Structure 1
């Protein structure tokens, strides 16, 4: 099983575990999200340590180790992106499995288990047609002011949505054209979505236009832009003007 296949397989399997846990939610009550996170993380970590023992590993639900910093290849996973949406039985949550090579988001898969989909770097689809007016996905609970201002400048409609992975994949799937985030994230929130978006021909960068670099000592990722390639220059120009 190559790295692309492994990422997609593990994302899908973790998604199935999460659905099974949610289906038996009576056993967990308010701890549903925590239980799902723990079970999905256990699967991912055990499989990666067995199948790719020489690679580094960074998971949201696992204690970090500086040993990964000396690795050329590091797996970066988020067992459950969108705990609130998962617990509320919505469909806008995801599982992220990515492999950073030399800091670059090279390989990845994002599972949308409630939708029965796994988007992956080795199976890119043609860019879907853009809508008019444009659509920008934003947080359903705390939309960033910068995103609102960019949407206003572009005449774009705001589309509230849950997890980072769900928002990024909404662009890849043709449900939106732009995902702009400025509220702070971590490497596991964006590595797999960025890998998938790039593989499908979309633009992905920091909001100053610089590349996304992973497997860093500081795992915080303050901002992110994923959008159709023809929109990138204009969005970055508007963001730069906000400063």
Structure 2
């Protein structure tokens, strides 16, 4: 367990939103520790993936022992399909950026899917930690218990978050259609949370992701009042038998119709 991780308070244990944030914080702090261990390249990537996964699994076993877990770094236990509560986690989203200190555009995703209750069959809580934003110890974490309400757009020009290495051609065409600028950045979660943070106005992706890539940031984005869907406008569904969930839109509500209309007319090429 990370030396920074104190046991959760009774208030945190009683609230799934706060627990998701606490878990993401804990994994983020552990990842910051790993970054100080003198590793580089693939060794650093592998150590980060392993350390954050092991910690999250350990903490969930301790504090939510009856819940199922779906993790990018773990074996997919299909018993989750009959479970009432499933934690969907990406222990380290943006492994490449994590391995390039001092880059900050990587994240920890922790989301909860529930079968019953107000959010039956959907995400009910989520948190995204961006540990390197806040310095050496304290991660900056965005969560559904206190999601920021996105203010009116502060940029005169629409901003679309894209991969810093391989922006898809259809997004470049979309940007031309909307007279938008492309804003390169790292992990998928960082891109989605950038809309929550009013650093960008939209993130549109097609061509390959899994449930853990989007669950937590989508939960936070929804809580913040943003529009979320697949690129055809259909709902994003989680805790499915096939965890491949290749496309997503997260954007300001006023942009959704224009983005969906463009994709319906032109496709994504995926």
Give the TM-score of the pair, scaled to structure 1. 0.97
Structure 1 residue aligned with 2:151: 128
TM-superposed deviation, 1:115: 0.5
User: Which residues in structure 2 correspond to 1:94-105 (within 5 Å)?
Assistant: 94-102=107-115, 103-105=121-123
Q: Which runs of 5+ in 1 are unaligned?
A: none
TM-superposed deviation, 1:27: 4.6
TM-superposed deviation, 1:5: 1.0
TM-superposed deviation, 1:30: 3.7
Once residues 126 and 156 of structure 2 are traced to their aligned partners in structure 1, the CA distance between those partners, rounded to angstroms, is 30
Structure 2 residue aligned with 1:64: 76
* Partner SS for 1:74: strand
* Partner SS for 2:199: coil
Q: Is the 2:232–2:264 contact (alpha carbons within 8 Å) kept by the matching residues of 1?
A: yes
Once residues 42 and 34 of structure 2 are traced to their aligned partners in structure 1, the CA distance between those partners, rounded to angstroms, is 13
Equivalent residue for 1:8, pick from 21, 26, 35: 21
* Over 6 Å off, 4+ runs: none
Once residues 125 and 32 of structure 1 are traced to their aligned partners in structure 2, the CA distance between those partners, rounded to angstroms, is 32
CA 1:133/1:62 → structure 2, altered by over 3 Å: closer, same or farther?
same
1:108 aligns with 2:121: no
Once residues 74 and 3 of structure 1 are traced to their aligned partners in structure 2, the CA distance between those partners, rounded to angstroms, is 12
Give the TM-score of the pair, scaled to structure 2. 0.87
1:20 aligns with 2:44: no
**Structure 1 stretch 43-52 or stretch 4-13: which is displaced more?**
43-52
Q: Is the 1:146–1:182 contact (alpha carbons within 8 Å) kept by the matching residues of 2?
A: no
Q: Is the 1:136–1:156 contact (alpha carbons within 8 Å) kept by the matching residues of 2?
A: yes
**Structure 1 stretch 196-205 or stretch 94-103: which is displaced more?**
94-103
* Partner SS for 1:43: helix
Cα offsets for 1:131-165 (capped at 9, x unmatched): 11100000111111221111111000000111001
1:226 aligns with 2:240: no
TM-superposed deviation, 1:71: 1.1
CA 1:29/1:238 → structure 2, altered by over 3 Å: closer, same or farther?
closer
Once residues 170 and 125 of structure 1 are traced to their aligned partners in structure 2, the CA distance between those partners, rounded to angstroms, is 12
User: Which residues in structure 2 correspond to 1:100-179 (within 5 Å)?
Assistant: 100-102=113-115, 103-116=121-134, 117-130=140-153, 131-179=155-203
Count of residues in Structure 1 that have an aligned counterpart in Structure 2: 242
RMSD: 1.1
Cα offsets for 1:21-56 (capped at 9, x unmatched): 1022x2566400110111111110011122112211
Q: Is the 2:221–2:250 contact (alpha carbons within 8 Å) kept by the matching residues of 1?
A: yes
* Partner SS for 1:209: coil
Q: Is the 1:59–1:188 contact (alpha carbons within 8 Å) kept by the matching residues of 2?
A: yes
Once residues 72 and 225 of structure 1 are traced to their aligned partners in structure 2, the CA distance between those partners, rounded to angstroms, is 27
Once residues 215 and 198 of structure 2 are traced to their aligned partners in structure 1, the CA distance between those partners, rounded to angstroms, is 20
